[in-house]
Structure 1
């Protein structure tokens, strides 16, 4: 489903902000946060928590090397986005005034290939063309780290990564046979595999847990805002955190919300795809965090840095003040 149709569904549940403070949310049209953002708006959970969430969907194209949502936040056109915390650390180390104030989830993807592929696991990647959104994408970084740690090779050298520039472009490359496999983001994997003839060879979430050496579900993506918004509008930030916890509780326990999401926001209204996305979202999402979980995220970063190196990550540290679990 294109951006305009999904935005129309969101606009239908956009009510008047009244005198409530506004938080401008800018999210990708094919990213999983749109499911919970739409449900927050449909149920009025933002107003229940004293603020107005203005949701606009954007493309997942790159702008100056950054994802579109990153560009919107850094240019002052957004107050709320989500990206992985490696990208957050990278942008903050380069001077971006952004902070991660709440977890979203284990938003990684999967290695997807044709059903008749000869790629059965990571050891089969050499001499194959592997599609990625970009080489600094977290899925490729995780793959490189796991291959170097457990199998003694770097797929950035032994295989051929092919950058698509967007998730849509990545799926097209797979369908057109331009690559042997792709590292696609998790919400799109069911749309590909349920319709065939493709299968998921390996979920990247398995690599997250193996590399982090913990059973605790670690968020890879977090919600971001600017430092100025965080400091100037603490009540609004707290309001979003409350609305998010509420919507997670509803989407985890109540199936009927997913039927509406499937009808309004998904390209395919196939019940099997909707159920697969629903179950994947529930397995991915992280409702809250604490210092122990943040420590786990930092340990995973350090492990990726040790294994893959700063060139692969694009950053050599998580700058101080990146994670802001306590709102002032």
Structure 2
């Protein structure tokens, strides 16, 4: 789907909720080009912004760019096609360590976790040796690194030497779990929600792993990422977007009716169990605000990622660059 069609799709659904508005915006509105996946969970927030006119309220006009995946989002940002994309703060810190003027604002606390079948004999991470684990992504997937770090702190041993790790795309990992081809899986939160709705259970979340390693404030893995140049030139537009984003988060956290309007977009129109699991798990990851304590937690988590993931994950520095999170915005 191209950029024009993507905006038309959101315009149509927004217009259904607010007929008088359509997708038009005031000439005074500041345009913000946002790269998001049409089928991704961030589109739920974008739809809420449009349906509730939070863009208009905050003096911005959303130009939504459909990106196929995380890598395509990175290209859209670095090429200047998008002002903002969603990515993880560890990527931002790794680029800053290489001298790239890039920064971010937290978006979500939602993380993945370790899933097991309902009848699994695995009752704790210490039961994993000798088992096969399906992992969404590759050897430096952040959930996999977090699990290895947690296991090492629990046992003093190296988990990667004790399990058979199978890497693949998120849908494939869920399929392997469903078919009994893996004993456990590590996947992104929304794929885990689908696995839960199918009868599997989460043994431990990445958030619980972090807590077990002494990080009491959950770090915001996902963030809105942008170039410092954009912040310098369009600070008002960025501020308007972040205000709209946090207002949408507050509505999604409290208003069940909004979720009903998103059911089809969530691909859960006819599945109540899946719909409720997706909604509730999304809500558990909503960031209520943007605080210095949150950034401190991210810095501590980064050091753990650096220790167990190495330069391939975090880049040239084992500590998070202090400019990773933009100081120009707080809630």
1:160 maps to: 164
Task: Please state whether the residue corresponding to 2:34 is helix, strand or coil.
Answer: strand
Show CA shifts across 1:57-106 (max 9, x none). 3333xxxxx63322321232221122222222223323443211x21122
Where does the alignment leave 5 or more consecutive residues of structure 1 unmatched? 61-65
Equivalent position to 1:205, from 192, 207, 225: 207
Task: Please state whether the residue corresponding to 1:264 is helix, strand or coil.
Answer: coil
Contact kept, 8 Å, 1:212 with 1:300, in 2: the verdict is: no
- Equivalent pairs, count: 315
The Cα shift of 1:311 comes to 4.5
Q: 1:218 to 1:314 in 2, by over 3 A?
A: closer
2:133 maps to: 130
Show CA shifts across 1:98-121 (max 9, x none). 211x21122211212332333222
1:31-110 matches, within 5 Å, as 31-60=40-69, 67-100=71-104, 102-110=105-113
Show CA shifts across 1:123-145 (max 9, x none). 12223232222222221111111
In the aligned structure 2, how far is the partner of 1:312 from the partner of 1:74? 20
1:243 maps to: 244
In the aligned structure 2, how far is the partner of 1:238 from the partner of 1:169? 38
Task: Please state whether the residue corresponding to 2:63 is helix, strand or coil.
Answer: strand
Deviates more, 1:21-30 or 1:144-153: 21-30
1:1-328 matches, within 5 Å, as 9-12=9-12, 13=14, 15-19=23-27, 20-60=29-69, 67-100=71-104, 102-132=105-135, 133-164=137-168, 166-196=169-199, 198-214=200-216, 216-306=217-307, 308=308, 310-311=310-311, 313-315=313-315, 316-327=318-329
1:63 maps to: none
Bigger CA radius of gyration? 2
The Cα shift of 1:205 comes to 1.7
Contact kept, 8 Å, 1:106 with 1:220, in 2: the verdict is: yes
Task: Please state whether the residue corresponding to 1:263 is helix, strand or coil.
Answer: coil
Contact kept, 8 Å, 2:6 with 2:64, in 1: the verdict is: no
In the aligned structure 1, how far is the partner of 2:165 from the partner of 2:304? 22
In the aligned structure 1, how far is the partner of 2:49 from the partner of 2:210? 29
Task: Please state whether the residue corresponding to 1:67 is helix, strand or coil.
Answer: helix
Contact kept, 8 Å, 1:98 with 1:226, in 2: the verdict is: yes
Q: 1:7 to 1:15 in 2, by over 3 A?
A: closer
In the aligned structure 1, how far is the partner of 2:48 from the partner of 2:67? 18
Where does the alignment leave 5 or more consecutive residues of structure 2 unmatched? 15-21
- TM (normalized to structure 1)? 0.86
In the aligned structure 1, how far is the partner of 2:181 from the partner of 2:9? 34
Contact kept, 8 Å, 2:303 with 2:320, in 1: the verdict is: no
The Cα shift of 1:255 comes to 0.8
Contact kept, 8 Å, 1:6 with 1:264, in 2: the verdict is: no
- TM (normalized to structure 2)? 0.85
